[in-house]
Amino acid sequence: MRENATAKRLRAGETVLGAWLSFSDALAAEAMASLGWDWLLIDMEHGPIALADAAAMTTAIRTRPCAPFVRPAWNESSQIQRALDLGCSGIVVPVVNTADDARTVVRDARFPPLGERSRGGIRTPLAFETDAMTYFERANEDVVVLVQIETELAVRNVDAILAVDGIDGVFVGPNDLAASVGARWPDVWERDERYMGLVRSVAGAATAARKTAGFLARDAAMAATVGAMGYRFIGVSSDANFLMGAAKRALDDSRAGIRQ
């Protein structure tokens, strides 16, 4: 069976770097994967990515030594199981505020006896280069399941969430976390001690539980800051931001050069 190198590295305590994919295009996904990211996340919650597009993107990412992750649209059975059946290396599930919410994720994301995920589909054996039964027997260990911490309530419950068997770790959604405390993002970053305390406490809880803490950083400087806090599954911006940012710089530089 194809090794999930990202899962192995996380279990070894290493830090892995990835980025968000918002465009529903397999070629763009493969281009991002070619750059050397450890993982890329296909965003089906906020991105306009249909299931068939996500399947093509997952396949495209796997042409490189890069792990495809998926964020399903909701913490709901049909969303989670269909995302996993694409053959991804892991999922990041939104809308998890309590241990009960986390147990719902495990029910849908893990095969029996840990959960109630249904066996079936052809893409998973193909993606993991194995037969169906081997995938079913090993997926509970090899597929990474992270749940999002996006509210102050979720932070208060983070220890109980991390204690749920079958949850590999938590992932902070920094924008929604700011919204939950009535603050603007990214203005709150390193300016609001209450907010920064929440961010630090999630990393500390994950470290104490010997599980993974993830974070979506805006840039390399923010990635370094959260890495120092103990976050190890770190996203750095998105395909949309990279495209628009580079295009805007090129446009501004060209206009400035022509005016000289």
- Cβ-in-10-Å burial (0-12, 13-18, 19+) of 99 comes to middle
DSSP H helices, 164-219, are 174-180, 193-209
Nearest of 175, 168, 169, 162 to residue 139 by alpha carbon: 168
Q: What angle do CA 7, 123, 111 make, to 5 degrees?
A: 55
- Cβ-in-10-Å burial (0-12, 13-18, 19+) of 250 comes to exposed
Q: How far is it, in rounded angstroms, from Cα 102 to Cα 107?
A: 9
User: 3-state DSSP call for residue 169?
Assistant: strand
> What is the CA 106 to chain-centroid distance, rounded?
16
Which amino acids are annotated catalytic? 46
Backbone angles phi, psi at 60, to 5 degrees: -65, -40
Q: How far is it, in rounded angstroms, from Cα 203 to Cα 197?
A: 10
Strand segments, DSSP code E, in the chain are 16-21, 39-43, 67-71, 90-93, 144-149, 169-172, 212-217, 233-238
